[in-house]
Amino acid sequence: MLRRLRRRIESSDWLAERLGGALTAYLRRAQRTTDWQTEGLEDLRADLNKGPVLYLMWHQRSLMGPFHWPHEAGELLSLHDRSPIGRIGGVVQRRAGLRPVGMKGGKGKAAAAREVLRLVRAGCSIGIAVDGPAGPPRHVRDAAIEWARATQCPVYVYAFATRRKWVLGTWDSMILPKAGGRGALVFRKLPVQLPRKLDDAERDAIRQTFRTELDAVTDRAEQLLDGAS
């Protein structure tokens, strides 16, 4: 049954739009009815006044990323794959006010990358789930490192946590917030400046830094729910 649904989504823009629309409406309600505590948002806004940033998150915590982005401070490109789930995600991102970019494979990948870099030069930030689209979970894939190197933008990591939630049976244990209750979201700027060229050792060090900082903001969001100062 799930395989048939995936095939239908792959061949039907209408179905992807309907499913993405329903999910967007639900997430808007969860966003509106949750009492959110925020940390680091003013730092992000201050940097956006100077130019675009790279906005990184774990795939597990990515559903609310479009709704927590400060849209009034700058436009955000959201990179997604062309899988059925990726197509639905693109609909959610567009309806949430982002500019989704489907990253194609093969020859189309280079053209998509050039378009993204053009938009960054025009002032658009980039949002990436660094272990997506298919994991393994909490493994920083090369794409996030390459975009950080190519754009030379400040790098921010983000996570949210909610008291009321479902944990889905997906590869990443995706968190779907329930409406109501308390929530927390954290933004943190990374103290890194990537060189234009990276050797293997430097790439591995950046990968570990991204992972450590993403885990740290995830833990911090959970701590805020528990009342930690």
179-224 pLDDT, tens per residue?
Answer: 999 999 999 999 888 888 889 999 999 999 999 999 999 999 999 9
Question: What is d(CA 214, CA 220) in angstroms, rounded to the nearest whole number?
Answer: 10
pLDDT of the residue at 11: 54
Of 171 and 40, the one with more pLDDT: 40
Question: What is d(CA 56, CA 187) in angstroms, rounded to the nearest whole number?
Answer: 10
Q: Quote the pTM value.
A: 0.91
Contact (CB, 8 A) for 64 and 127: no
Which residues pair with residue 127 across a beta bridge? 55, 78
DSSP category for residue 72? G
Residue 225 has pLDDT above 80, yes or no: yes
Helices (DSSP H) in the chain: which residue ranges? 2-11, 13-33, 41-48, 65-68, 84-95, 107-121, 142-151, 200-225
Q: Which CATH class is domain 2-225?
A: alpha beta
pLDDT of the residue at 185: 97
Strands 175-177 and 165-167: antiparallel
Q: Any idea which residue has 């943190």 for tokens?
A: 188
